[in-house]
Structure 1
Amino acid sequence: MAKTSWNIRQAALRLVFELGPAVVFFAATKIWGIYAGTIALMASAALSTVVSWYRTRRIPVMPLAGLGLTLLFGGMTLWWRDDQFIKMQPTLVNGISALVLAGALAVKKLPLKAIFGAGTHARTEAWRTLTLALVAFLTLLAVMNEIMWRAFPTDTWAAYKAFVIPTLDGLFVAGAYKYLRANRLDAPEAGDLTEPREAPEPAG
Structure 2
Amino acid sequence: MTDQTKPEKPVNPTVKAVLEYGPIVLFFAAYTLLKDRSFLVAGTEYSGFVAVTALFIPVLVVATLGMWKLTGHLSKMQIVTLGLVVVFGGMSIWFNDERFFKMKPTIIYLLFAGVLGFGLMRGQSYLESVLDSALPLEREGWMILTKRLALFFLALAIANEVIWRMMSTDAWVNFKTFGLPLGTIAFFMVQSGLFKRYGTSEEDADT
TM-score by length of 1: 0.79
| Aligned residue among 83, 86, 89 for 2:104 | 89
Answering whether residue 173 of structure 2 is matched by residue 173 of structure 1, we say no
Structure with higher Rg: it is: 2
How is 1:130-169 mapped onto 2 (pairs within 5 angstroms)? 130-169=145-184
Unaligned runs of 5+ in 1: 1-5, 191-204
Aligned residues: 183
How is 1:55-74 mapped onto 2 (pairs within 5 angstroms)? 55-74=70-89
CA contact (8 A) 1:23 1:163 kept: no
* 1:19 equivalent in structure 2: 21
Answering whether residue 75 of structure 2 is matched by residue 75 of structure 1, we say no
Q: Distance in 2 between matches of 1:167 and 1:29?
A: 20
Answering whether residue 184 of structure 2 is matched by residue 182 of structure 1, we say no
Cα deviation for residue 176 of structure 1 reads 4.1
Q: Distance in 2 between matches of 1:87 and 1:180?
A: 34
Q: Which runs of 4+ in 1 moved over 4 A?
A: 9-18
* 1:28 equivalent in structure 2: 30
CA contact (8 A) 2:140 2:198 kept: no
Question: Deviation digits for residues 60-96 of structure 1, max 9, x if unmatched?
Answer: 1122101100000000000000000000000000011
Identical-pair percentage: 30
Cα deviation for residue 54 of structure 1 reads 2.3
Give the direction of change, closer, same or farther, for the CA distance of 1:54–1:153 in structure 2 (3 Å limit). Answer: same
CA contact (8 A) 2:19 2:63 kept: yes
How large is the RMSD of aligned CA atoms in angstroms? 2.7
TM-score by length of 2: 0.78
Q: Distance in 2 between matches of 1:119 and 1:86?
A: 32
How is 1:105-124 mapped onto 2 (pairs within 5 angstroms)? 105-118=120-133, 120-124=135-139
CA contact (8 A) 2:116 2:150 kept: yes
